[in-house]
Structure 1
Amino acid sequence: MRADKFLGLVLASTMLASCGGGSGGTTTPPRSGGDGGGGVVTPPPTSGTSCSLSARKEWVLETLKEYYLYPDLVDDTVNPDNYTTLQSYIEALLAPAYAQKLDKAGFTYVRSIEEEEAQIANATYQDFGWRPSFEAGNALIVLETFENGPAYKQAGIDRGALIKRVGRTAATLTDPVTAYNNGTLIDLLFPAEDGAQTVVEFQPADYSNPGSYLPAQTVTLTASEYSLDPVSKRYGVEVIGNVGYVNLRTFATSNAKTQLSSAFAEFNSAGVDQIVVDLRYNGGGLVDVAEHFGDLLSEGLNGELFSETIYSDGVLRNYNVTEADKKEYFQTTTQQLQPNRLAFITTDRSASASELLANAFPPYFGDNTALVGSNTYGKAVGQIAIDREACDDRLRVIAFKTVNADGVGDYFDGLADTYPVTCRAPDDYTLPMGDAREDSIAEALDYMAGGKAVCTPMSASSGQTTLAKREKIILMPKNPTFAEQALYGPLR
């Protein structure tokens, strides 16, 4: 399964790059399988090459009418003059599809070609390298920090830390709820510029006494560019008895394949026969990474269907997609394993490639695969990328959906109601990732030992939270890039 497909804000996304010049035509079709590169020469829009907002809106409308998965639900009666941004115009055009729950707001969007490709190629980010989240009681908790990011590297801030106050300077420190309500918190937690500083007063979690905190510290963090390891060197790979645990942060960089192969080499050496895959905050990434991950988990399934893609009429019409192009199959790969039981740890931030991967296994594993934690986000449709190079615009438009070997694919409410076994468990941020005592991992280990009978099932609504309730808000940068959405989770 070596597709040139690319999964980001949605379940799967095909990388269809414009190949210059303004002439129409195609190179290779958007394939679901096989090696090779290639992309699509996008037909020139009738609006020309102008980068005025009105011309870009016209290009967006033309592209949606041609390639959107539900073209009859594009409301072309919307007055473009009523919208000051491309994204607000897109949301208005696609409102009928949202109303019918065939799509979700934010799945189709425009981003910079240059910025997106740079992040994908380099896996670099420019912030403090953490996942802060409002948990129950309005406590601002750090759910994870990344080894190379400033929060961990400069200050030793780690999972479970309680952020008590933040400010641009020590003199302006304020509590996070106040900063959230006055609109300054996101800029403080996710600075947009290299070198920007934020002062943070925090209490580290006391892992020896879960639920307790160590004395408060005040530190100054300086934003800087850092590289991200998709599989953490600290806790990304663990062997717990006969169970192999692997935590993948993002599918959005190709070096995840190398790191996953290394993890499975360790599992093979240890003789594990059960696997726990932790995707609890993973918002998506590259399809070929998901496919490689699937291959590593699927010894004995070689040649069986991994997923089937159902394309829009526009893609079928313009790119000569064959029946073979639509199907992905499990393939033999080095370090492949044949687990007798498989569990996926998820939350409502697990989306896109995370759901694609987990959805592939129920037809073959039945009750020997489980969803553990809480329900997934529900990205059941996929996007292609159409470029307008003159304006550095990449429009990612919903153009297909995928189904597994049983035809299951419309999981807009998450995977919980489609999965053979679900095991409800909290995200226990009082303990490190990879720790067998952590609630979700402990539940997965119980399932490995006892099977379906030990699980308390989740429902499609059990993992969903709302901003209004403010029970849990995972924060993320403003106007996130593709790679940031894949790392921090989908937009609300």
Structure 2
Amino acid sequence: MTGHKPCGHFRGAAFSAFFALLFAAACGGGGNNATPPAAAPAPPPPSGNSGPTWTAGVYQDAGLFKDRCETVRTGLDFEGNPFPDRAGSTLEENFWLRSWTDETYLWNNEVQDRNPANYSDPVAYFDLLRTTATTASGKDKDDFHFSQPTDEFLRERNSAPVAEYGARLIAYSVSPPRDFRVLYTEAGTPASDTVMGTPNLIRGARILEVDGVDLVNANTTAAIDTLNDGLFPLTAGELHTFVVQDPGAATTRTIMMISEDLSTPAVNRTAIINTPAGDVGYALVNTFSPFASEQDIADAITDMNAAGVTDLVLDLRYNGGGLLAISAQLGYMVAGPSRTSGKAFERLRFNADAGGINPVTGETNNTTPFFSTGVGFSVPSGDPLPNLNLNRVYILSTDWTCSASEAVINGLRGVDVEVVLIGRATCGKPYGFYPEDNCGETYYTIQFQGVNQKGFGDYADGFIPMNSSAPFGVKLPGCLVDDDLDHELGDESEAMLAAALQYREFGTCPAPPPVSVAAKALTKADASERPGLDLKRGMRVMENNRDMRMPEE
């Protein structure tokens, strides 16, 4: 199967923007201090009964309008902090968005100045506060502008478990006749539990029915509700029945799964592949969040170090990003100390008005190094990290490889580690942001571009294998290969891993897929093409971003 269509975990958490891909979502991506300083007490609201007035091109300080809310929250948030809200208005919420965008947005001089008084919905107003420029390939330069309710953001930021089965899906068609397949499962979950020796779900299995409803063809409101409730349960303990057809099978299977509260592990699986030219390590790393990712990745590299691997295949094909500090640690663990000592993993580039100051935090614009020790997420601060000391790494990618995972590619290239790219073009997000709450909504506006030790960060059309005929994207050594749902991930016969091993041994690639297939594979379905089934319920924004946080001091 080919094609990068909407995907989601079997999850229940609602997520307000399907293209929260980035994060590295959607959050920021490159300073040493990821948490902005505590906000000063809010100033009194602007004087006058009619509220602030708009003068085109004249911006007041965003702090004048911060936390002045039409609807005031009371009590404590999910993290136990009192809400900062004060009595205000929708107009003041809009004025805050306008000034905050002008102060922090990377392309602030490309935003049309619109009168905040003309908009009754702050989220709708925010949607307009972005550049409309496009990249060389024709996609939006800012394809990552979104918001979500703050309560959802806080739960995701704290890796609150959500109800799911432990499987991620891909939708090749979201309208009848639908085609939903399993991308992968996670160990120790309902999806990977075995019945008579067969896991409930396997990679490539097609889901045909959910709780007696035909997933392929059903199109009534009641049927769609049943499908959503079964695919993306809202609570743990829900029992749902599925009819699935495994790859190559002529018959179907009926399975039952009970949803559980689960958190996504960073490292899905690893393997040591024996070859005549030395052992090759394989690691499927699906996220750089949550905090446990730090320990998970360190443990995987420790095992590979002990096995004496001479090369590494790093499978980031489904990795949308996460904590930038952890991706910087992975960069160190690949390259080792001699190549990374004193070097920048990523520097931040803000708008032209910022100078040498981070306009979000107000602090000096710092650099993210290749962290060689734990930083305190789940590896104790200062504990040395393992490293493989490699001068080359094979990275498996698709257009879900985004933000903080693209930063691994760019950061390693900045210290002359050869990156061999196998798969598809990455998503093209050298940008990031700091999530900012105001009045119950958390906003994500692009605030910086990440650049490597050599000052390079211009990959808005992604990194792409050298043998691609695409006229855009940053070309790297490697092979254009489609994702292969007929073989399990980590199987040496799986197309992308097999191509990496072939390139390593012979320096050659399999025949690239047809152009028509490549075009399909590089296209994400637009929201207007996704009526009915709510794939947004299967996404987590914090798995898809450059998350700038560091552990609490």
Please, what TM-score do these two structures have when normalized by structure 1? 0.78
**Distance change >3 Å, CA 17–CA 481, structure 1 → 2:** farther
Say if 2:317 is the partner of 1:267.
no
Match of 2:267 among 226, 231, 242: 231
* Aligned-partner SS, 1:66: helix
Correspondent of 1:477 among 513, 530, 536: 536
- 2:239·2:257 contact (CA, 8 Å) conserved in 1? yes
CA contact (8 A) 1:298 1:330 kept: no
Distance 1:98 1:54 in 2: 30
Query: CA 1:219/1:461 → structure 2, altered by over 3 Å: closer, same or farther?
Result: closer
Structure with bigger RCO (C-alpha 8 Å, 6+ apart): 2
Separation in 2, partners of 1:83, 1:231: 44
Q: Which of these two proteins has the greater Rg computed from alpha carbons? A: 2
Alpha carbons 1:11, 1:380 under 8 Å: kept: no
The one of 406, 418, 434 equivalent to 2:490 is 434
- What is the CA distance between 1:177 and its match in structure 2? 5.0
Report the residue type matching 1:9 in the other structure: A
Q: From 316, 324, 346, give the equivalent of 1:287.
A: 324
**Match for 1:66 among 84, 99, 103?**
103
Give the partner amino acid of 1:372.
I
What SS does the aligned partner of 2:302 have?
Answer: helix
Alignment partner for residue 129 of structure 1, among 166, 171, 175? 166
CA distance in 2, matches of 1:364, 1:426: 29
Partner of residue 467 from structure 1, selected from 525, 544, 551:
525
SS in structure 2 opposite 1:128? Answer: strand
Task: Give me the whole-angstrom Cα distance separating, in 2, the residues matched to 1:96 and 1:439.
Answer: 37
Alignment of 1:181-196 (within 5 A): 184=225, 185-196=227-238
Residue 62 of structure 2 is aligned to residue 22 of structure 1: no
Distance (Å, rounded) in 2 between the aligned partners of 1:344 and 1:375: 11
Percent pairwise identity: 24
- Where do 1:168-317 residues align within 5 Å? 169-170=211-212, 173-179=213-219, 184=225, 185-203=227-245, 205=246, 211-213=247-249, 215-232=251-268, 235-241=269-275, 242-299=279-336, 300-303=338-341, 304-312=343-351, 313-314=353-354, 316=358
Q: CA deviation at 1:157?
A: 1.3
Judge which range, 132-141 or 335-344, deviates more.
Answer: 132-141
Task: Assess, with a 3 A threshold, how the Cα gap between structure 1 residues 301 and 442 changes in structure 2: closer, same or farther.
Answer: same
Give the superposition deviation at 1:415: 1.0
The gaps in structure 1 that reach 5 residues or longer are: 1-5, 25-41, 206-210, 488-492
1:9 match: 26
Tell me which residue corresponds to 1:422: 478
Q: Could you state the TM-score of these two structures normalised by the residue count of structure 2? A: 0.70
Answer yes or no: is 1:344 the counterpart of 2:395.
Answer: yes
Unaligned runs of 5+ in 2: 1-22, 44-60, 72-89, 374-383, 465-472, 547-553
3-state SS, counterpart of residue 200 of structure 1 = strand
Contact 1:11 1:356 in 2 (8 A): no
CA displacement at 1:74 relative to structure 2: 2.2
- Corresponding residue number in structure 1 for 2:367: 326
- For 1:46, the equivalent position in structure 2 comes to 65
Paired residue for 2:455?
407
1:450-492 Cα shifts (integer Å, max 9, x gaps) = 23x446679996851242799xxx98434944235469xxxxx
Once the two structures are superposed, residues 425-450 of structure 1 have per-residue CA deviations (whole angstroms, 9 ceiling, x without a partner) of 12111111111110000011112212
Structure 1 residue matching 2:433: 3-state secondary structure = strand
Aligned residues: 445
| Higher-helix-fraction structure | 1
Residue identity opposite 2:525 in structure 1: L
Q: Which moved more, 1:438-447 or 1:59-68?
A: 59-68
- The residue correspondences of 1:103-114 to structure 2 (distance < 5 A) are 103-105=141-143, 107-114=144-151
1: CA distance, partners of 2:386 / 2:204: 34
Question: 2:282, 2:314 within 8 Å by CA — same for their partners in 1?
Answer: yes
Residue aligned with 2:96, SS: helix
Q: Spell out, residue by residue over 1:306-344, the C-alpha distance to the aligned partner (whole angstroms, 9 max, x if none).
A: 222112335545645446x13534647431111243111
When residues 57 and 244 of structure 1 are mapped into structure 2, their CA distance, relative to the original with a 3 A threshold, is same
1:103 is matched by which residue type in structure 2?
A: K
Residues 378 and 412, structure 1, Cα contact 8 Å, conserved in 2: yes
Distance 1:271 1:70 in 2: 47
Distance change >3 Å, CA 478–CA 59, structure 1 → 2? farther
